[in-house]
Amino acid sequence: MRKTATAAVAVLTGALAVGASAGSGAATVQSAPTTVAAGHSAYTPGSGDNAQNDRLRAQLQKALAQQGLQATQGKVRAATTVYYSVADAPTYASVIRQGASIWNSSVSNVKLVENSSAATLDYREGNDSRGSYAYTDGHGSGYIFFDHTQMGQYAQVRVAAHETGHALGLPDHYEGPCSELMSGGGPGPSCTNAQPNSTEISQVNSLWANGFAKAPQKSVVNTAPKVLVH
Q: How confident is the model at residue 220 (pLDDT cuts 50, 70, 90)?
A: very low
Domain extents for the chain? 40-69+78-208
3-state SS, 59-112, equals: HHHHHHHHHHHHHHHCCCCCCEEEEEEEEECHHHHHHHHHHHHHHHHHCCCEEE
Q: Which pLDDT belongs to residue 54? A: 76
Q: Which pLDDT belongs to residue 53? A: 74
Q: Which pLDDT belongs to residue 118? A: 97
Q: How confident is the model at residue 41 (pLDDT cuts 50, 70, 90)?
A: low
pLDDT above 60 (res 229): no
Rounded Cα distance, 66 and 217, in Å: 10
Q: Which pLDDT belongs to residue 141? A: 96
Q: Which pLDDT belongs to residue 157? A: 99
pLDDT in tens, 70-84: 544 455 578 999 999
Rounded Cα distance, 24 and 15, in Å: 22
Pair type for strands 35-37 and 110-114:
unpaired
- For 40-69+78-208, CATH number out of 3.40.47.10, 3.90.226.10, 1.20.120.1760, 3.40.390.10 equals 3.40.390.10
Q: Which pLDDT belongs to residue 47? A: 59
Q: Stretch 39-56: mean pLDDT, rounded?
A: 68
Binding residues for Zn(2+): 162, 166, 172
H or E element that contains 199? helix 198-207
Q: Which of 230, 228, 217, 189 is nearest to 3 (CA)?
A: 228
Q: Which pLDDT belongs to residue 199? A: 98
Binding residues: 162, 166, 172
Rounded Cα distance, 137 and 155, in Å: 25
Q: How confident is the model at residue 111 (pLDDT cuts 50, 70, 90)?
A: very high
List residues with catalytic annotation.
163
Rounded Cα distance, 96 and 40, in Å: 19
Q: Which of 230, 95, 93, 68 is nearest to 157 (CA)?
A: 95
Lowest model confidence (mean pLDDT) among 4-18, 42-56, 156-170: 4-18
Question: Which is more confidently placed, 186 or 25?
Answer: 186
